[in-house]
Amino acid sequence: MFEHIHAAPADPILGLNDAYRNEPNPNKINLGVGVYKDEQGVTPILQAVKQAEERLLNQEETKSYLSIEGSPAYREAVQKLLFGEDHQIISKKLAQTAHTPGGTGALRVAAEFIKKHLPEATIWVSNPTWANHQSVFQSVGLEVGSYAYYDANTKALDFEALLASLSQIPEGDVVLFHACCHNPTGIDPTPEQWYQLAKLCSKQGFLPLFDCAYQGFGHGIEEDVQGIRTFLDYVPEMLVANSFSKNFGLYNERVGALTIVCETSEQAEATFTQVQRCIRTNYSNPPSHGAAIVAEILNDKQLRSLWEMELKSMRTRIHEMRSLFVNTLRVKGVTQDFSFISQQQGMFSFSGLTPDQVAQLRNNYGIYIVGSGRISVAGITHENMNPLCDAIAAILK
Ligand code: PMP
C-alpha cells in the first residue's frame, strides 16, 4: 500500500535544524529557527514561568480533560492581552477565544474554519511570509494568493505597492497580516500605515486574519498590537491567531489561541460553536500545562511584572545585537550598507544575502541561516558575533 509514497522534502526551517545538529564543525552557529537565545547561547526558561509552575504543581488536583475551547481564565487573559483590559470588544462579549496548541494550531483551526464556512474565499499572505503559512492554508484546500510587501532594493516596506495590491482583493476574501515583528523581514507598518490599511480593509470588505506570534518582541506589549486595535475601530469582524511560544519561552508546551471577533455577541457565540466543531474533529481539546502557566502569570500582579521585565530584557538584548551586528560588520571592513538591520523589529532580519552566499556560510563556516537570507538575530551573542561577522565579511569580498 505504501510503495508509491516518496519522502517529503525537508521543512525549510525545521529541516535546517536537523542539518545543524549533524554539522561536524565545532564552531557552528545556528541562526535558522526562530528561538531566542540568551548571552550564553541558551534558550532559558523564564523565572516567571518557573514560579508559576511551582504554584501549579502544588495546586493541581486533576488531569481530567479541559473543554474544547480551554480554560476560562486563559481565554480571558488572552483577550485582555490582545485587545486591552477595557476594550468594548471584551465588555460587549464580541470576541470568543479558543486555546490551541501553539500559533500553528490556531492557524490550522482558522484555516479549517475558513474552508468550511467561507469556501469561496482566497487567503492572501504577504510576499514574503513565514514559510509555513502557505502550507497550512493549502493543506485544507484553500487558495493562497500573495500581496506585495517588501522592496528588495530599498530593504523596506513597499507601502504603495502594498496598498495597490490590497485594493485588488475582493470582498469576502481573507487577508493575513503579521501583527508585529513581521517574519521574515522584521519590517512592520507604522501606526499611520496601520490606520490606512484598516480603512482600506473596511472599504474593500475583506476579512483580516492577524497572526500575532511575537507580542512584546518589537516595541512593547501594548505597542505591538496597535495594528490589531486600529483595525478594530474600522472593521466589525476579525480572526486573531496568537502564540505564546516566544514571548513566554513556552516553545514546546504548545500554547496559542484563536480568537474570533463578530459584530454582535450572539453572532460571536454562534460562530464560535463552529470553531469548536473544527477543534473537536481535530485534536478534541487542548493540552493544559502551558496555558495554565500563561494564565497564572497574566492574572497575578507579581508574576506579571516579573514576566514583563524578562520579556523586556529579551527585547532589549535583540535590539542591542542588531546595532552591534551592523557596527561589527562595518569594523570588519564590509562596505555594503547593513544599517537597515537596526531598524527591523523582532527576532528576524532579512539580510539580503543571496542563496549562494547562504550556502557558502553553511558549507565553509558551519553558519546556518534560512535560504531566503533570513537571520535569526535572537541567536546572535557577543561570543558568536566576531566569527559570524568575519565569515560574512569573507564571503562578501
Ligand atoms: N506565525 C509566525 C509568523 C511564526 O513565526 C510562528 C513561529 N515561528 C508561528 C506563527 C507559530 O508559532 P508556534 O510555534 O506557537 O506554533
Digit-coded pLDDT (tens) for 120-174 = 999 999 999 998 999 999 999 999 999 999 999 999 999 999 999 999 999 999 9
Q: Is the pLDDT of residue 211 over 90?
A: yes
The rounded mean pLDDT for the chain is 96
Q: Is the pLDDT of residue 12 over 80?
A: no
User: 102 CB less than 6 Å from ligand 1?
Assistant: yes
CA 26, CA 48: separation in Å to the nearest integer? 34
The C-alpha cell of 24 is what?
Answer: 561536524
**Model pLDDT, residue 14:** 81
**Model pLDDT, residue 33:** 83
Query: CA distances (Å), 220 to each of 80, 193, 341, in order?
Result: 15, 18, 18
Query: CA distances (Å), 1 to each of 4, 5, 6, 7, in order?
Result: 7, 9, 12, 15
**Model pLDDT, residue 15:** 85
Q: What is the mean pLDDT of residues 312-327?
A: 96
The C-alpha cell of 111 is what?
Answer: 484555516
Residues 6 or more apart whose Cβ sits within 8 Å of residue 385: 321, 324, 325, 328
Report the nearest atom of ligand 1 relative to the CA of 251: 14
**Model pLDDT, residue 394:** 95
Of the chain, the percentage scoring pLDDT greater than 90 comes to 93
CA of 163 to the centre of ligand 1 (A): 25
Identify the band that residue 257 occupies on the pLDDT scale cut at 50, 70 and 90: very high
Residues 6 or more apart whose Cβ sits within 8 Å of residue 311: 216, 217, 221, 247
Q: Is 300 annotated in the active site? A: no
Report the nearest atom of ligand 1 relative to the CA of 102: 15
Identify the band that residue 334 occupies on the pLDDT scale cut at 50, 70 and 90: very high
**Model pLDDT, residue 396:** 92
Q: Is 130 annotated in the active site? A: yes
CA of 59 to the centre of ligand 1 (A): 30
More confident residue, 12 or 56: 56
Look at ligand 1, atom 9, and give the residue with the nearest C-alpha.
103
Q: What is the mean pLDDT of residues 350-369?
A: 93
Calculate ∠ Cα 383-379-181, nearest 5°: 140
The C-alpha cell of 60 is what?
Answer: 493541581
Please choose from 130, 178, 212, 347 the residue to mutate so as to test ligand 1's pocket, defined by most ligand atoms within 8 A of CB. 130
**Model pLDDT, residue 165:** 97
Q: Is the pLDDT of residue 196 over 80?
A: yes
Q: Is 246 annotated in the active site? A: yes
Identify the band that residue 274 occupies on the pLDDT scale cut at 50, 70 and 90: very high
**Model pLDDT, residue 80:** 98
Look at ligand 1, atom 1, and give the residue with the nearest C-alpha.
213
CA of 183 to the centre of ligand 1 (A): 9
Q: What ipTM does the predicted assembly reach?
A: 0.99
